[in-house]
Structure 1
Amino acid sequence: MSPTVLKVGSYRVVIYTLDHPPAHVHVISASRIAKFSLDPVLLLDNAGYLSRELRKIERIIIDNQPLLLDAWNEIHRGTE
């Protein structure tokens, strides 16, 4: 299962329930996907996004970091 925890425009921010630490999110749009750690916010992987899109996505994650960390902790409570 992969709950969408945030949607901004065409970007869907997902946390996989069976995923591993450290806290991170996957950002999906069309056939593109990127993976960002949440603390600190860093790009971990990219498949298809252009640099300018990655900067925009990074800003979205930074602006929503507390919400995303709370979601990660809620989804993975008791699994770490």
Structure 2
Amino acid sequence: MPTVLVLLGWRLFFYANEGNEPIHIHCKSGDKECKFWIDVENFDIQEAFALNLSPRDKRQIRKIIFEHFEYIVDQWQEFQNRRYP
């Protein structure tokens, strides 16, 4: 479960055991948790699920993901290359 970023109380990370799911990022802060699919082609994200997030929390985590979009994608690719050389 490698951590990609820790920012503003949010930890953004990948799970190692999710099979062949498309690129995505998990985010957790206290009892709040969410997952976003990442659309590299269109520079977009889509919420997969969200637990205990207020509208403000959703705006904040979306902003964090977009501000670090390329970094997250690069980290995903490095993580996958280490898993499947």
TM-score range, shorter chain: 0.7 to 0.9
- 1-side partners of 2:71 and 2:38: how far apart? 10
- 1-side partners of 2:5 and 2:16: how far apart? 15
Q: Which has the higher contact order (CA 8 A, sep 6+)?
A: 1
- 1-side partners of 2:70 and 2:60: how far apart? 18
Q: Which runs of 4+ in 1 moved over 6 A?
A: none
- 1-side partners of 2:52 and 2:79: how far apart? 27
Q: TM-score, normalised by structure 1?
A: 0.88
Count of paired positions: 78
Q: TM-score, normalised by structure 2?
A: 0.83
Higher Cα radius of gyration: 2
Aligned-pair Cα RMSD in Å: 1.3
Percentage identity across paired residues of the two chains: 27
